[in-house]
Amino acid sequence: MDTLLLGARGGLGRLIAVQLANRGHAVRTVTREVARDPDALIAAARGAGAIVNCAGASVAMGLGHGWRGYRAVDTPIGLAAAHAAKALDIRMVYVGVAHPPELARCAYVDAHERVVAAMRDLDGVVVRATGFYSAYAALLSMARRGFLIDIGNGRTRTNPIDERDLAEIVAEQVRGDGPREISVGGPDVLTRGEIFERVAQLAGRRVRMVRLPAWLAGINAAMVRVVHPRMGQFARFAVLLAKHDAIAPAVGTRRFDAYLGELSQRAA
């Protein structure tokens, strides 16, 4: 079966492409310009059996990754994908966000939820994932410089997932006939403090932990949003995650400590 994969150039997209190919799918890809054009996307998907969408703006907190907000990037691509899937009567698999109700109105989550709403009348499934292990990769280089900065009191809990597990789950949903939404996380439920402590242990030196009050981080996020919408929106999402638990069923099997060990070896 041909499957159109949106977001194939991203880290998760590359892993999904491998998993689809391993399952016998012929993977089609398109440019970002085609992905956001509903009519062009219909043409690109014609003859395919499914659309898999993991495309979106970068979550990297730095310059050089684009400045437009998530509603301006993720939502148009997702709506175009839903339009194409409905027009062609084919299945759509979408990678969404597992989140507590308190986060529903923030821009990062809302951008994804608008796509979820557009999928109500088509054959599809939303795979709601917690944070990715790779989101913590930048912490190791920071720790090796002797410090780590976190938001809040470090007591909120989450169970991030390895992208390799998530890619397998997404690929399985292309031919699946299960529920319309599944929430997935990794096997380890950890507090933010525990996550940062485990990263610090790999630094090979004494690491100073700096805790930024959530209220102050919220002010900073609002100020950043004025000049750089994407970074400001994701910073706001990070502030809310520091205040509320984000736990999903433990569907992933790869352990967080094992990922950190791999990361440490690669960075050595």
Output the DSSP codes for the chain. -EEEEETTTSHHHHHHHHHHHHTT-EEEE--HHHHT-HHHHHHHHTT-SEEEE-------SSTTS--S-HHHHHHHHHHHHHHHHHHHT-EEEEEEE---GGGTTSHHHHHHHHHHHHTTTSSEEEEEE--BGGGGHHHHHHHTTTEEEEETTS--EE--B-HHHHHHHHHHHTS--S-SEEEEB-S--EEHHHHHHHHHHTSSS--EEEEE-HHHHHHHHHHHHHH-HHHHHHHHHHHHHTTS-B---B---S-HHHHHHHHHHHH-
Supply the pLDDT for residue 59: 73
Supply the pLDDT for residue 80: 98
Low-confidence spans in the chain with pLDDT less than 70: 60-67, 267-268
Give per-residue pLDDT as tens, 222-262.
999 898 998 899 999 999 999 999 999 999 999 999 999 99
Tell if the pTM clears 0.85, that is, is over it: yes
Supply the pLDDT for residue 179: 86
Supply the pLDDT for residue 191: 98
Rg (CA), the chain: 19
Domains of the chain: 2-267 (3.40.50.720)
